[in-house]
């Protein structure tokens, strides 16, 4: 192998940057989502929440935008609030909902939100500025038409034109840092550690040339107009630590924190207060920047600036031991602990009431005078500024509570803040302030609001009459909101917090291991299933259904009826076999009642479900249907050919597929016609009709489904032009008294053989939405009626025919793809939007998410008049069309397509509403998958543990609460529940096990199914004890105990090795044994070692004594045996042997029954005699300090902390160095990559690169085999801490062709984990596949529009950070880029495949094989 593919299997989750701003809506427009929430709750009673900004987060190269959904507690449900966080300030619950997520071709270094300010009455939106190393900036804004981000400007200061900015330097500690002026007039980017790039924002009234005036309807976003560079050396500013923009100045004012001359901790007693702040006024038009004021003599450890909001103004300088406030008029400071050093001025600094160190803190403002700081220990501190007018008198610091260690903090609106974390889960927290605004009577507040904002009255004039309802809410919202007048007692503010939501983070991954699933995989990364019991085999199963049976006719009140429906148990289970149907009762146990019921049992059932509010069951079979009340039949229908107008022969009138939406049942016949059963709720009977639209049409239908828009506020009504204001609202309010009108609307979604998709409303069957060429999988679906206005989105809608024609001969199989199954569903949730799924005949799954886009009013009216002249029929349907409905395509990650066997018409998508608290779709087939919906985002979890699954249904009864039943291809029926201990709202299902300590390394012991984990816990030790162990007594005498730690104790990490065992029921894992280390001994590595003697497996631990730089390093190697007691109740761990060696022992490995130990700067091979370890051979490598050891057969791969890798072989009786890499490299992890008989060496480094080397003694460049040659290099974009070698799984094409043991089967991928929380793998490719995918990759660089204008090729270039590096071959393809191919429209896929000389089928099967081969988990 010289070729590989690098693939991300789990995206990064550790959040590095977070910000908030009005991205998807402006501050003035209250989003329609909030409207619908407020209409039916009695909103005047509680204080309404103002317009909520969006939350923008970035993790690694992932950018996500969230909305904050707030549920206000109305009086009627205040009693039964059990949501997360309880009731606070009139809010019962709030959660994050995903708007859009992007994987960028570059790591986001820093992020800012450029606000539109209050300009234009708060109608303009904010934009996001992202910066990327070395000096790239992209400005992104939200586009309603595509429901996503678009790039509004890009700024680039790299490359030959800008070399002078670096001033001869090659490497920089910091990347480009963005700060934005609070009024949004400009942004500053500090790059190359000495250049300030100023980005000037565009004025409100000016628009960019060529900009559509029609776009203004959606609300324009803030834009960047131009940029220029200030060289800070010219301003006499060096060694910049931080900068920020101040509040309350007429022109933007930038404050820079910088050091005049550097110092270091060893010189602090002579040279200390070296920092200063300088404030410059930035005139973007004149490009001048005079110094306004400055303050010197700040401590050398000051590192952060925090601009104080108006009305106070000024800046806070945060240091490790002090906080200083400076403004033009006043200054004051606060000492935080005993290390606060006062410098030359003799006056005493005020002290805080407790001791704290503030290095590495993050901060945000909760109110205009209270800042919240998050410290390095995870504590939240509140800093109150006590002021009089504009003079700040003192700073007051108080403790609040503990939380996660943060990487960033942002305040969202005026009652939420978000704690972003790289180390733990990120939290959304609601806060309410005890004293201040909320204690005023509502009347006062209203007045203040009216005085301060005259926006509503000005707005009223501009509004059209149809916005009356919005206007009403809008005025109310604004007038109830105002800032309370400032009172002198504001120091006594008390805050209360409630955690409302959290985002799961699995990083940073330090080490991982691969073990068995809890009931057959470690990270529980397939979905573990607990089978309660299994039935006898059911060969040839066609489908299973569970139905309810309600014998009561009484109407309960609406709320209790809803609760009832959730918890009602299923009554019958219907199993359809090849020649008969079984019926089972599901009350307590499953008992077969096939003989005693009136169900049709002589043949196969096609579908079963409930009608008329669960009072009846309908069972549909090939030639008829039955309506049943419990066990008794009340009506039978048979489908005659005479109903079908097309006059076809009688044998074709067989039902092919069924879709049920109470009270309608839609049947698709085998000849492609449609029939509809319409139910009559009063008599509980159904009648058969053929919709008139389909009677006359000759078009054959390939798939259809009914979509039930449930709930008191049907979602699709919002998308038709004015319908929801006129009809929708009225009906929703009428329906609330518990009659069946609140059932919502039913729509019929139909896809024809020619690929057109149409949506009809039922039962009138007027077409409300249609799309040409649904099968091509375009990114956006727009009603064809609206097409003319959005030509930009559909460059391809016209010329699809021409594209296909030339290549039709060879691609005929590619073109004739039709949709075999459709599904449209909206899950329960106040703001949920429907998903539309389609399965194509080649196994591709198209997944779309609906959204509303209200185009500009005037253009659509003009368009309506034009089209009404063209045809009369269009103008009549104009009113009812869902013209604002659009769909955006959602990528289906890590899902392997499967070819659909022709002829079988089994339904594969099964919607479920509550299985163990989750909702979504289960997809049966040869690779069954769960599509779960969380926060309006699709999470895909393949379930590979039971092989192919042919049928699935939900089951809810006494013994199996909210569970499921499925039948495998072998005919086994399993009744299961989803494990509740797993969180599914992540890229992979995840279970977190509390250790109450810091884990360092983990190893899996397969024989006993236990894991050994190195854990360290900080323990407070008396200070004199610590000093005496670290140094000799004489040195200890020099310390003066007063100015050291006053409490006389010091935290020391104590290490232990724990043996933990997974808990079968999924609870916390049990610690079976714990092996403590000696004092100041750190356990560095733990590995399983199989010895030659009696093949026993021992646990080997390598340690090091950490005792300061005066003591020579020592380490120990420890061997333990692990045994179980006879009844498997206890695990016995006993120490077999220990031996002290010179130097730390960072790595161990088992080599052919011997133990290989890396000890200091050499490796020693030991043989285990049964009682002791004896050295057999040694080798003076690594040069400095080993970080990893890997072994294949008798080959050893050594990674050194600084000197790259060495390749060693073991032949009795000696270890010999074969080759090494001569260039310096800071290794983080190493592993072998095996492709058949080819061995390669993979190494990752601290610059986020991966290199692959090979050993070729016959090649002349290798200096007679001394030097390892480079085979490939690749920039992964995150630091890889561990590689794990796993055998590739056989793919479909290989299963048949290869014999076991051949080169094809002996292929291993290396799975890696990173510090960002992402997982991925590097897999070997054969040359033919590699060449094909590489040429595809080169095409995709220009064929796909990349978010933020980033170039994937430059992202994947090797980064050497200024060191000399000879570029290696480009032999790794980037699957992140290749995954865009499946998201392209079909026409473009065919075109690109033709250009690179291959077919779409070939590319798709290569990409599919890669997913199949690497789906280890």
Three-state helix/strand/coil letters over 404-472? CCCCEEEEECCCEEEEECCCCCEEEEEEEECCCHHHCCHHHHHHHHHHHCCHHHHHHHHCCHHHHHHHH
The pLDDT, as a whole number, for residue 860 is: 37
CA-to-CA distance for 354 and 357, rounded, in angstroms? 10
Q: Which of 498-507, 530-539, 1049-1058 has the lowest mean pLDDT?
A: 530-539
Q: Which token pair is 1053?
A: 């990490």
Distance CA 75, CA 44 (A): 11
Q: Which parts of 268-378 are beta strand (E)?
A: 275-281, 291-298, 302-307, 315-319, 322-326, 331-335, 362-367, 370-374
Q: Considering only 325-339, 776-790, 915-929, 1151-1165, which range has the smallest mean pLDDT?
A: 776-790
Adjacent-strand bridge partners of 1173: 1168
Distance between CA atoms of 770 and 883, rounded to whole angstroms? 10
Sheet holding 543-547, edge to edge: 543-547, 572-576, 581-585, 591-592
What is the structure's pLDDT at 1302? 56
Per-residue pLDDT at 744:
73
**Residue 712 pLDDT level (bands cut at 50, 70, 90):** low
DSSP bridge partners of 920: 912, 932
Residues forming a β-bridge with 65: 56, 100
Pairing of strands 3-10, 1372-1374: parallel
Residue 109, beta-bridge partner list: none
CA angle 1069, 1070, 1075 (to 5 degrees): 120
pLDDT band at 230 (very low <50, low <70, confident <90, very high): very high
Per-residue pLDDT tens digits for 273-330: 899 999 999 999 999 999 999 999 999 999 999 999 988 999 999 999 999 999 998 9
Answer yes or no: is pLDDT of 739 > 70: no
Distance CA 894, CA 940 (A): 8
How far is the C-alpha of 618 from the C-alpha of 625, rounded, in Å? 7
pLDDT value of position 484: 33
Over residues 528-558, the pLDDT tens digits come to 222 233 344 566 778 889 888 765 443 434 4
Q: Both tokens of residue 1055?
A: 């290490």
Cβ(430)–Cβ(89) below 8 Å: yes
- Cβ neighbours of 469 (radius 10 Å): 13
Q: Out of 66-80, 744-758, 1129-1143, pick the least confident.
A: 66-80
Q: Give the residue-averaged pLDDT of 880-889.
A: 87
Rounded percentage of the chain residues whose pLDDT exceeds 90: 51
The per-residue pLDDT for 927 is 87
Q: What is the dihedral of CA 1409, 1412, 1414, 1417, to 10 degrees?
A: 170
Choice between 1078 and 740, residue whose per-residue pLDDT is larger = 1078
Task: Kindly tell me if the per-residue pLDDT of 1239 is higher than 90.
Answer: yes
SS (H, E, C) 53-122: CEEEEEECCEEEEEEEEEEECCHHHCCCCCCCCCCECCEEEEEEEEEEEEECCCCEEEEEEECCCCHHHH
Residue 536 confidence (pLDDT): 46
pLDDT score for 784: 84
Kindly report the pTM of this predicted structure: 0.88
Burial of 75 per CB tally in 10 Å (0-12, 13-18, 19+): exposed
Residue 160 φ then ψ, to 5° = -60, -30
Question: Which of 26-30, 466-470, 939-943 is predicted with the least confidence, judged by mean pLDDT?
Answer: 466-470
* Residue 499 CB burial class (10 angstroms; 0-12, 13-18, ≥19): middle
pLDDT of 550 reads 67
**Residue 527 pLDDT more than 50?**
no
Report d(CA 1060, CA 994) in Å as an integer.
Answer: 12
Q: How confident is the model at residue 451 (pLDDT cuts 50, 70, 90)?
A: very low
The tens digit of pLDDT for each residue in 373-411 reads 999 989 999 999 999 887 899 999 999 888 899 999 999
Stretch among 199-208, 787-796, 863-872 having the lowest mean pLDDT: 863-872
Where do we find the tokens 């007048």? 485
pLDDT score at 553: 40
- pLDDT bin (cut points 50, 70, 90) of residue 344 is low
pLDDT at 1322: 97
CA distance 430 to 85: 9
Tell me which of 1359 and 435 has the higher pLDDT. 1359
Residue 1129 in 3-state DSSP?
coil
Choice among 141-150, 734-743, 831-840, 1081-1090 with the minimum mean pLDDT? 734-743
Chain-centre distance of CA 253, in angstroms? 37
Q: Is 1260 exposed, middle or buried (0-12, 13-18, 19+ CB in 10 A)?
A: exposed
Mean pLDDT check: name the lowest of 264-273, 440-449, 708-717.
Answer: 440-449
CB 583 within 8 A of CB 598: no
pLDDT at 1299 over 60: no
**Confidence check: pLDDT of 645 > 70:** no
Q: Which of 18-32, 472-486, 914-928 has the lowest mean pLDDT?
A: 472-486
Assess contact for 1319 and 1311: CB atoms under 8 A. yes
How far is residue 45's CA from residue 37's CA, in Å, rounded to a whole number?
A: 14
Show Cβ contacts of residue 1299 under 8 Å, excluding neighbours closer than 6 positions: none
- The H or E element containing residue 912 is strand 909-915
Angle ∠(1292,1295,1296) on CA atoms, nearest 5? 105
pLDDT at 201: 93
**For all residues of the chain together, what is the average pLDDT?**
81
Q: In this model, does residue 1363 exceed pLDDT 70? A: yes
- Which is higher by pLDDT, 1199 or 517? 1199
CA 1012 to chain centre: 30
pLDDT tens per residue across span 962-985:
899 998 888 888 888 888 888 999
pLDDT at 81: 42
The per-residue pLDDT for 1045 is: 44
pLDDT at 218: 47
Q: Which residue has the tokens 């980064």?
A: 1359
Exposed e or buried b per residue across 319-345, where buried means at least 16 C-beta atoms within 10 angstroms of its C-beta = bbbbbbbbbeeeebbbbbbebbbeeee
Tell me how far the alpha carbon of residue 1165 is from its chain's centroid. 45
Average pLDDT of span 120-137: 89
pLDDT at residue 469 above 70?
no
Max Cα–Cα distance, the chain, nearest Å: 109
pLDDT digits (tens, 9 = 90+) for 167-186: 999 889 899 999 999 999 99
pLDDT score at 1117: 96
C-alpha span between 927 and 947 (Å, rounded) = 7
Identify the band that residue 902 occupies on the pLDDT scale cut at 50, 70 and 90.
low
pLDDT of residue 1046: 42
Distances from the Cα of 65 to the Cα of 59, 122, 935, angstroms:
12, 20, 12
**Per the structure block, which two tokens stand in for 1025?**
């004890």
User: Does position 31 have pLDDT exceeding 70, yes or no?
Assistant: no
The per-residue pLDDT for 1356 is 96
- Cα angle value 918/922/925 (rounded, 5°): 160
| The pLDDT of residue 858 | 36
């Amino acid at each position: 192998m010289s070729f590989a593919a690098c693939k991300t299997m789990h995206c990064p989750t550790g959040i590095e940057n977070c910000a908030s701003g009005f991205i998807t809506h402006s501050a003035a427009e209250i989003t329609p989502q909030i409207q619908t929430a407020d209409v039916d709750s009695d909103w005047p009673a509680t204080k309404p929440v103002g317009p909520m900004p969006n939350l923008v987060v970035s993790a690694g190269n992932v950018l996500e935008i969230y909305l904050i959904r707030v549920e206000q507690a109305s009086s009627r449900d205040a009693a039964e609030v059990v949501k997360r966080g309880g009731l606070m300030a009139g809010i019962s619950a709030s959660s994050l909902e995903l708007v859009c997520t992007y994987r960028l071709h570059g790591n986001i270094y820093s992020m800012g939100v450029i606000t539109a300010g209050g300009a234009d009455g708060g109608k303009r939106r904010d934009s996001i500025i992202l910066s990327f190393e070395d000096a790239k900036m992209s400005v992104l804004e939200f586009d309603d038409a595509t429901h996503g981000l678009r790039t509004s400007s890009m700024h680039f200061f790299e490359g030959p034109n800008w070399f002078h900015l670096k001033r001869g330097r090659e490497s920089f500690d910091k990347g480009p840092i963005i700060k934005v002026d609070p009024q949004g007039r400009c942004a500053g980017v500090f790059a190359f550690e000495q250049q300030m790039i100023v980005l000037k924002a565009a004025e409100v009234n000016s628009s960019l040339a060529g900009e559509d005036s029609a776009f203004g309807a959606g609300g324009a976003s803030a834009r960047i107009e131009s940029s220029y560079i200030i060289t800070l050396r010219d301003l006499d500013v060096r060694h910049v630590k931080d900068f920020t923009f101040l509040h309350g100045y007429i022109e933007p004012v930038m404050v820079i924190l910088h050091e005049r001359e550097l110092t270091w901790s060893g010189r602090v007693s002579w040279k200390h207060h070296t920092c200063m702040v300088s404030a410059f006024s930035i005139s973007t038009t004149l490009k001048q920047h005079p110094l306004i004021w400055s303050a010197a003599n700040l401590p050398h450890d000051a590192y952060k600036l925090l601009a104080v909001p108006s009305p106070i103004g000024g800046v806070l300088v945060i240091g490790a031991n002090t906080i200083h406030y400076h403004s033009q008029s006043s200054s004051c400071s606060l000492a935080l602990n005993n290390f606060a050093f006062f410098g030359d001025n003799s006056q005493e600094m005020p002290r805080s009431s407790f001791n704290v160190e503030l290095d590495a803190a993050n901060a945000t403002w909760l109110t205009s005078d209270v800042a919240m700081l998050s410290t390095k220990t995870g504590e939240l501190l509140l800093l109150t500024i006590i002021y009089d007018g504009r003079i700040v008198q003192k700073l007051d610091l108080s403790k609040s509570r503990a939380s996660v260690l943060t990487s960033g903090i942002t305040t969202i609106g005026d009652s939420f803040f978000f704690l972003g974390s790289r180390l733990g889960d990120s939290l959304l927290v609601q806060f309410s302030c005890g004293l201040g605004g909320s204690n005023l009577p509502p009347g006062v507040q209203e007045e203040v609001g009216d005085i301060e904002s005259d926006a509503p009255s000005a707005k009223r004039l501009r509004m059209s009459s149809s916005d009356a309802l919005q206007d009403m809410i809008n005025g109310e919202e604004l007038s109830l909101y105002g800032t309370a007048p400032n009172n002198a007692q504001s120091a006594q503010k008390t805050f209360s917090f409630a955690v409302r939501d959290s985002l799961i983070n699995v990083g940073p991954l330090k080490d991982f291991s691969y073990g068995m699933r809890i009931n057959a995989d470690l990270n529980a990364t397939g979905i573990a299933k607990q089978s309660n019991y299994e039935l006898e085999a059911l060969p040839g199963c066609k489908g299973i259904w569970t139905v309810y049976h309600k014998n009561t006719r009484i109407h309960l009140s609406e709320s209790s009826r809803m609760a009832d429906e959730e918890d009602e148990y299923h009554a019958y289970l219907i199993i359809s076999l090849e020649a008969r149907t079984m019926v089972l009762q599901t009350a307590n146990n499953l008992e077969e009642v096939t003989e005693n019921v009136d169900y049709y049992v002589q043949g196969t059932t096609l579908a079963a479900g409930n009608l008329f509010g669960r009072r009846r069951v309908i069972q549909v079979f090939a030639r008829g249907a039955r309506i049943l009340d419990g066990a008794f039949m009340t009506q039978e229908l048979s489908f005659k050919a005479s109903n079908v107008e097309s006059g076809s022969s009688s044998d074709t009138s067989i039902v092919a597929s069924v879709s049920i939406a109470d009270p309608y049942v839609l049947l698709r016949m085998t000849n492609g016609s449609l029939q509809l059963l319409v139910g009559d709720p009063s008599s509980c009977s159904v009648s058969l009709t053929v919709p008139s639209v389909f009677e006359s049409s000759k078009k054959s239908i390939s798939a259809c489904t009914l979509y039930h828009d449930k709930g008191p506020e049907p979602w699709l009504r919002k998308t038709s032009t004015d319908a929801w204001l006129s009809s929708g609202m009225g009906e929703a309010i009428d329906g609330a008294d518990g009659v069946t009108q609140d059932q919502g609307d039913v729509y019929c979604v139909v896809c024809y053989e020619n690929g057109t998709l149409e949506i009809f409303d039922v039962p009138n069957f007027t077409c409300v939405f249609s799309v040409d060429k649904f099968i091509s999988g375009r990114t956006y679906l727009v009603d064809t009626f609206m097409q003319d206005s959005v030509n930009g989105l559909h460059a391809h809608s016209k010329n699809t025919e021409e594209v296909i024609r030339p290549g039709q001969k060879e691609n005929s199989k590619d073109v004739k793809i039709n949709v075999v199954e459709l599904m449209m569903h909206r899950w329960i949730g106040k703001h949920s939007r429907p998903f539309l799924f389609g399965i194509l005949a080649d196994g591709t799954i198209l997944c779309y998410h609906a959204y509303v886009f209200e185009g500009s009013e005037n253009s659509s009216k003009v368009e309506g008049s034009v089209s009404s002249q063209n045809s009369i029929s269009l103008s009549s349907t104009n009113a009812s069309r869902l013209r604002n409905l659009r769909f955006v395509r959602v990528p289906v990650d890590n899902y392997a397509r499967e070819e659909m066997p022709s002829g079988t018409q089994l339904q594969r998508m099964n919607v479920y509403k509550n299985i163990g608290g989750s909702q979504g779709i289960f997809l049966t087939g040869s690779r069954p998958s769960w599509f779960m919906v969380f926060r309006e985002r699709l999470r895909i979890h393949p379930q590979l543990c039971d092989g192919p699954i042919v049928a699935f249904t939900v089951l809810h009864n006494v013994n199996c609460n909210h569970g499921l039943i499925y039948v495998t291809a072998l005919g086994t029926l399993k009744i299961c529940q989803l494990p509740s201990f797993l969180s599914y709202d992540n890229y992979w299902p995840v279970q977190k096990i509390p250790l109450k300590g810091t884990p360092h390394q983990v190893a899996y012991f397969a024989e006993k199914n236990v894991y050994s984990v190195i854990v360290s816990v900080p323990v407070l030790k008396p200070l004199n004890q610590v000093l005496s162990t670290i140094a000799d007594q004489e040195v200890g005498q020099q310390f003066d105990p007063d100015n050291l730690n006053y409490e006389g104790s010091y935290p020391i990490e104590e290490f232990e090795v724990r043996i933990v065992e997974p808990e079968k029921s999924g609870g916390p894992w049990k610690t079976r044994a714990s092996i403590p280390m000696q004092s100041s001994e750190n356990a560095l590595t733990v590995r399983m070692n199989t010895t030659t003697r009696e093949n026993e497996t021992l646990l080997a631990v390598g340690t090091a004594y950490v005792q300061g730089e005066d003591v020579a390093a020592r380490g120990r190697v420890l061997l333990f045996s692990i045994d179980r007691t006879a009844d498997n109740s206890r695990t016995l761990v006993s120490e077999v042997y220990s031996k002290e060696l010179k130097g730390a022992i960072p790595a161990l490995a088992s080599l052919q029954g011997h133990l290989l130990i890396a000890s200091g700067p050499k490796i020693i091979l030991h043989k285990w005699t049964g009682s002791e370890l004896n050295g057999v051979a040694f080798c003076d490598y690594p040069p400095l300090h080993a970080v990893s050891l890997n072994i294949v057969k008798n080959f050893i791969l050594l990674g050194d902390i600084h000197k790259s890798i060495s390749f060693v072989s073991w032949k009795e009786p000696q270890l010999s160095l074969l080759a090494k890499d001569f260039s310096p490299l800071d290794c983080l992890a190493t592993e072998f990559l095996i492709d058949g008989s080819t061995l390669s060496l993979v190494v990752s480094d601290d610059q986020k690169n991966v290199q692959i080397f090979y050993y070729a003694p016959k090649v002349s460049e290798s200096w007679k085999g001394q030097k390892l040659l480079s085979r490939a290099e690749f920039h992964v974009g995150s630091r890889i801490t561990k590689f794990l070698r796993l055998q590739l799984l056989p793919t479909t094409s290989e299963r048949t062709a290869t014999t076991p043991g051949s080169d094809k089967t002996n292929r291993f991928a290396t799975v890696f984990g990173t510090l960002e929380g992402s997982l991925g793998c590097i897999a070997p490719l054969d040359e033919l596949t590699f060449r094909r995918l590489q040429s595809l990759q080169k095409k995709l660089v220009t064929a796909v529009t990349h978010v933020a204008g980033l170039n994937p090729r430059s992202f994947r270039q090797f980064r050497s950070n200024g060191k000399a590096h000879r570029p290696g071959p480009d032999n790794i393809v980037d699957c992140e880029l290749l995954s865009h191919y499946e998201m392209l429209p079909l026409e473009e896929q065919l075109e690109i495949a033709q250009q690179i000389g291959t077919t779409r089928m070939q590319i798709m099967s290569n990409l599919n094989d890669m997913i199949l081969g690497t789906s280890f988990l």
